Amino acid sequence: MNSALPLSQMPVGHKARVVTLMLDGFSRRRILDMGLIPGTVVEVLRRSPLGDPTAYRIRGSVIGLRKEEASRIIVENQ
Protein backbone atom coordinates (compact mmCIF):
# COMPACT_ATOMS: atom_id res chain seq x y z
CA MET A 1 0.00 0.00 0.00
CA ASN A 2 1.05 3.57 -0.64
CA SER A 3 1.04 5.80 2.37
CA ALA A 4 -0.05 9.41 2.35
CA LEU A 5 2.39 12.17 3.28
CA PRO A 6 2.82 15.93 2.73
CA LEU A 7 4.41 16.89 -0.58
CA SER A 8 7.07 18.82 1.36
CA GLN A 9 8.44 15.51 2.65
CA MET A 10 8.87 13.90 -0.76
CA PRO A 11 12.56 13.46 -1.67
CA VAL A 12 14.02 15.08 -4.79
CA GLY A 13 13.65 12.88 -7.87
CA HIS A 14 10.53 11.15 -6.64
CA LYS A 15 7.06 11.26 -8.13
CA ALA A 16 3.85 11.47 -6.18
CA ARG A 17 0.13 11.68 -6.85
CA VAL A 18 -2.00 14.36 -5.20
CA VAL A 19 -4.56 12.89 -2.80
CA THR A 20 -6.07 15.91 -1.12
CA LEU A 21 -5.46 19.58 -0.29
CA MET A 22 -5.56 20.67 3.34
CA LEU A 23 -6.24 24.24 2.32
CA ASP A 24 -9.27 26.40 1.79
CA GLY A 25 -10.32 29.76 0.44
CA PHE A 26 -8.00 31.60 -1.88
CA SER A 27 -4.92 29.55 -1.05
CA ARG A 28 -6.80 26.41 -2.09
CA ARG A 29 -7.91 28.19 -5.24
CA ARG A 30 -4.33 29.21 -6.05
CA ILE A 31 -3.03 25.65 -5.75
CA LEU A 32 -5.92 24.30 -7.85
CA ASP A 33 -5.23 26.98 -10.46
CA MET A 34 -1.67 25.72 -10.77
CA GLY A 35 -3.13 22.39 -11.85
CA LEU A 36 -2.55 20.58 -8.53
CA ILE A 37 -5.89 18.83 -8.42
CA PRO A 38 -6.35 15.43 -6.77
CA GLY A 39 -4.96 12.71 -9.05
CA THR A 40 -2.26 14.92 -10.58
CA VAL A 41 1.26 13.47 -10.72
CA VAL A 42 3.97 15.74 -9.28
CA GLU A 43 7.70 15.25 -9.63
CA VAL A 44 10.08 16.81 -7.12
CA LEU A 45 12.76 18.47 -9.25
CA ARG A 46 15.07 20.32 -6.89
CA ARG A 47 15.22 22.11 -3.57
CA SER A 48 16.88 25.48 -3.19
CA PRO A 49 19.92 25.45 -0.86
CA LEU A 50 17.89 26.39 2.20
CA GLY A 51 15.18 23.88 1.36
CA ASP A 52 12.65 26.52 0.42
CA PRO A 53 11.18 26.91 -2.16
CA THR A 54 11.13 23.65 -4.08
CA ALA A 55 10.63 23.21 -7.82
CA TYR A 56 8.08 20.66 -8.99
CA ARG A 57 7.06 19.42 -12.41
CA ILE A 58 3.35 19.07 -13.11
CA ARG A 59 1.67 18.52 -16.45
CA GLY A 60 4.81 19.41 -18.37
CA SER A 61 5.53 22.71 -16.62
CA VAL A 62 7.67 23.66 -13.66
CA ILE A 63 6.29 25.46 -10.61
CA GLY A 64 7.85 26.63 -7.36
CA LEU A 65 6.13 26.09 -4.02
CA ARG A 66 7.02 27.25 -0.56
CA LYS A 67 7.42 24.61 2.11
CA GLU A 68 4.41 25.99 3.96
CA GLU A 69 2.20 25.39 0.91
CA ALA A 70 3.71 22.03 0.01
CA SER A 71 3.17 20.77 3.55
CA ARG A 72 -0.57 21.15 3.03
CA ILE A 73 -0.68 19.12 -0.14
CA ILE A 74 -1.16 15.47 0.73
CA VAL A 75 0.27 13.01 -1.78
CA GLU A 76 1.00 9.32 -2.10
CA ASN A 77 4.26 7.91 -3.36
CA GLN A 78 4.15 6.66 -6.94
Q: Name the residues that contact other proteins, by CB under 8 A.
A: 26, 29-30, 33-35, 58-61
By the 8 A CB rule, do 9 and 16 touch?
no
For other proteins, the closer CB: 28 or 47: 28
Count of other CB atoms within 10 angstroms of residue 5: 15
Comparing CB distances to other proteins, the nearer of 59 and 66 is 59
Q: How far is the CB of 73 from other proteins (least distance, A)?
A: 16
Residues 70, 40: Cα–Cα separation, whole Å: 14
Helix (H, G, I), strand (E, B) or coil at 19: strand
Question: What's the closest the beta carbon of residue 27 comes to other proteins, in angstroms?
Answer: 8
Comparison of 5 and 17: residue with beta carbon closer to other proteins? 17
